[in-house]
């Protein structure tokens, strides 16, 4: 359920994370800090460097991202473990997770930082990659999805999938996606998956361009453990939220579960506006 931020636990700093590839993003971030009167109690970082913020993160009450969904996906890795909520300002193309349009941000930012917003919590995933040979286990947390995908060679990837220890199917496909509700409007949607409300805790499992295999997307309860076992030698890799890539080998296993961390976003509008925003951002015009 939506909840109000705990005023007793408010911290001093405001963080601003910007997309360094968008020239206007950094200057927008400075304007937002000025609008909030937070020059002496703020920090700024590019999205690529937010993981190096250090001690200031523990003192941060909110992070404003200036960019698009990609900026949020990078920021949430640092913000979620620290319990810091995010306010997204959209300077990208679609901005499913952003809250404010760039042209409205300076005028409205005080409503979110000094007003009475509610906090939306979204489920995250954790992927654990284990190999019989090679380096120790790799563990990565993400908000959107965990994807196993073939490389440049036109050879189908074969992946045995099991759910809670029970063998389910072998996917022969370009890849396999495990997505959160947030990620259901991203790559999973393009691959034919369903749209879940972003506050749902379920996961979606589906193949990418499956060939002679189970192609129906599955919606799985939140406490499910999914194991993806690589069974052929197709050149392939694992990505989390499209950023973290690990090369995969035969017999590698990826276990995907619900993460103990949650992503938090500051909102002011009613939760049901998701559906209106969804059709608008997908370019669907209602007559």
Q: Which CATH architecture has domain 7-117+268-281?
A: 3-Layer(aba) Sandwich (3.40)
- In which band, very low, low, confident or very high, does the pLDDT at 6 lie, cut at 50, 70 and 90? low
Q: What is the DSSP string of 184-204?
A: GGTHHHHTTPPP--TT---EE
Chain centre to alpha carbon of residue 54: 21
Residue 132 has a pLDDT of 75
pLDDT above 60 (res 1): no
Any long-range contacts for 199-203 (C-beta under 8 Å, 24+ apart)? 199/120, 199/121, 199/122, 199/271, 200/123, 201/123, 201/258, 203/125, 203/178, 203/179, 203/256, 203/258
Could you tell me which residue, 283 or 16, shows the higher pLDDT? 16
CB 214 within 8 A of CB 207: yes
DSSP-assigned letter for residue 274 = H
Among 20-29, 150-159, 218-227, the minimum mean pLDDT is found in 150-159
Residue 8 has a pLDDT of 44
CATH tag, 123-260 = 2.60.200.30
Interval 213-239 mean pLDDT: 94
- In which band, very low, low, confident or very high, does the pLDDT at 177 lie, cut at 50, 70 and 90? very high
Q: Where are the domains positioned within the chain? A: 7-117+268-281, 123-260
Residue 10 has a pLDDT of 59
Task: Indicate the pTM of the whole model.
Answer: 0.90
Residue 286 has a pLDDT of 59
Strand partners, 127: 140, 256
pLDDT above 80 (res 265): yes
Burial class of residue 235 (count of CB atoms within 10 Å of its CB; 0-12, 13-18, 19+): middle
Residue 82 has a pLDDT of 94
- In which band, very low, low, confident or very high, does the pLDDT at 113 lie, cut at 50, 70 and 90? very high
The overall average pLDDT reported for the chain is 90
User: How far from 125 is each of 24, 180, 207, 225, CA to CA, in Å?
Assistant: 32, 7, 18, 10
Q: How far apart are the first and last CA of the chain?
A: 32
Residue 282 has a pLDDT of 76
Q: Catalytic site residues? A: 69
């Amino acid at each position: 359920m939506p909840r109000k931020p705990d005023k007793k636990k408010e911290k001093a700093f405001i963080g601003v994370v910007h997309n360094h590839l968008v020239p206007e993003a950094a200057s927008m971030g400075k304007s937002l800090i000025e609008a909030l009167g937070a020059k002496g109690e703020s920090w700024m970082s590019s999205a690529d460097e937010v993981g190096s913020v250090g001690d200031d993160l523990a003192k941060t009450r909110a992070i404003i991202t200036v960019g698009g969904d990609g900026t949020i996906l990078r920021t949430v890795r640092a913000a979620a473990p620290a319990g810091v909520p995010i306010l997204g300002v959209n300077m990208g193309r679609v901005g499913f997770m952003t809250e404010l349009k760039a042209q409205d941000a300076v005028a409205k930012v005080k409503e979110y930082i000094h007003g009475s917003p509610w906090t939306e919590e979204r489920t995250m995933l954790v992927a654990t990659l284990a190999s019989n040979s090679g380096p120790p286990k790799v563990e990565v947390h993400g908000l959107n999805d965990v994807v196993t995908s073939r490389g440049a060679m036109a050879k189908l990837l074969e992946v045995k999938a099991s759910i809670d220890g029970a063998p389910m199917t072998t996917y022969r496909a370009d890849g396999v996606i495990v997505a959160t509700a947030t990620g259901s409007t991203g790559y999973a949607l393009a691959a034919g998956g369903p749209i879940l409300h972003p506050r749902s805790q379920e996961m979606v499992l589906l193949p990418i361009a499956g060939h002679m295999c189970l192609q129906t997307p599955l919606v799985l309860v939140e406490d499910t453990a999914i194991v993806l076992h690589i069974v052929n030698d197709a050149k392939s890799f694992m990505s989390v939220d499209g950023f973290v890539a690990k090369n995969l080998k035969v017999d590698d296993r990826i276990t995907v579960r619900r993460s103990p961390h949650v992503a938090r976003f500051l909102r002011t509008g009613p939760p049901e506006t998701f559906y209106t925003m969804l059709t608008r951002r997908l370019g669907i015009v209602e007559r």
